[in-house]
Amino acid sequence: MVTTRNIITIDEEKCDGCGLCADACHEGAIAILEGKAKLVKEEYCDGLGDCLGECPQGAITIEKRTAAAFDPEAVARRQAELAAEAAESEGCPSTLPCGCPGSMARSLEPAPSHAQAPCAPCETPDSRLANWPVQLHLVPPTAPYLDGADLLIAADCTGFAAPDFHERFLSGRVCLVGCPKLDDTAPYVAKLAAIFAAKNISSVEVVRMEVPCCGGIVSIVEQALQASGAEVPLTVTTLGVRGEVVSIEQIGA
């Protein structure tokens, strides 16, 4: 589908082929071809301009023009291709494009449950974390653990505020975390939209703090659901600064 929207334009005369813009583009819309940055496909570009500040030559601008519509599903496929290419070049089938071994997508087996809750200082609760990585910037949209998952999308501070975070929120869920105030959240909408469009997500619970700035993480999820066209039940749980549940709201399907 063709529409009028914001999209990048690259001035090849100014471009010196440094590649910083390609590294900054989370959607894989830019590649260095024949020594110059090129827009690979219009549908990969979300028009948000993460690449703008990375270009030392000022060769990239955003303009409103007729272009193919942004396609989250195509972006997910593109990210998978880039991940596979990076893994092949490094001899590791599961690494992300960043090449960081600690960011390898993997499922985690839950530890056996204790028959009773810990009651002595030497005992600790079992972890309920079922996936790695958890940070939204690092999670690949193609990760197998996302298939049909019940998602927990948590603001960073919630895990520190709620002393029983693992037992209360993590059991049986795939966890993704981010901070709507301090993170670069522009790529989050596109990434989550790609996940919602391709992974048949069963449900989403957003856990946020009661502070106003934390409401941004709810907005990000709602925008991603709208962009993907997926109908997924959404629950928003708000915590107080001492971890108490302030409110629970059911939204959507």
Residue-wise pLDDT tens digits, 20-64: 898 888 788 999 998 899 999 999 998 888 787 778 899 999 999
Contact between 139 and 191 under an 8 Å Cβ cutoff? The reply is yes
Residue-wise pLDDT tens digits, 32-41: 998 899 999 9
Residue 97 pLDDT class (50, 70, 90 cuts): very low
Selection from 85, 105, 109, 102 nearest residue 94 by Cα: 105
What is the reported pLDDT for 170? 94
Structurally, at CATH architecture level, domain 2-70 sits in: 2-Layer Sandwich (3.30)
DSSP state of 251: E
Contact between 92 and 53 under an 8 Å Cβ cutoff? The reply is no
Q: Which residue has the higher pLDDT, 76 or 231?
A: 231
User: Which H or E run includes 150?
Assistant: strand 150-155
User: Which CB contacts under 8 angstroms, 24+ apart, belong to 119-124?
Assistant: none
Length of the chain counted residue by residue:
253
**Residue 92, pLDDT above cutoff 90:** no
Domain with CATH 3.40.50 in the chain: 101-108+126-251
**Residue 145, pLDDT above cutoff 60:** yes
**Residue 113, pLDDT above cutoff 60:** no
CB within 8 Å of 33: residues ≥ 6 apart: none
Place of tokens 């790529």: 187
Confirm or reject CATH 3.30.1890 for domain 101-108+126-251, answering yes or no. no
Residue-wise pLDDT tens digits, 162-174: 999 999 999 999 9
Residue 122 pLDDT class (50, 70, 90 cuts): low
Q: Give the span between the Cα atoms of 90 and 60, in whole angstroms.
A: 30
Read off the amino acid at residue 207. V
CB within 8 Å of 212: residues ≥ 6 apart: none
**Residue 246, pLDDT above cutoff 90:** yes
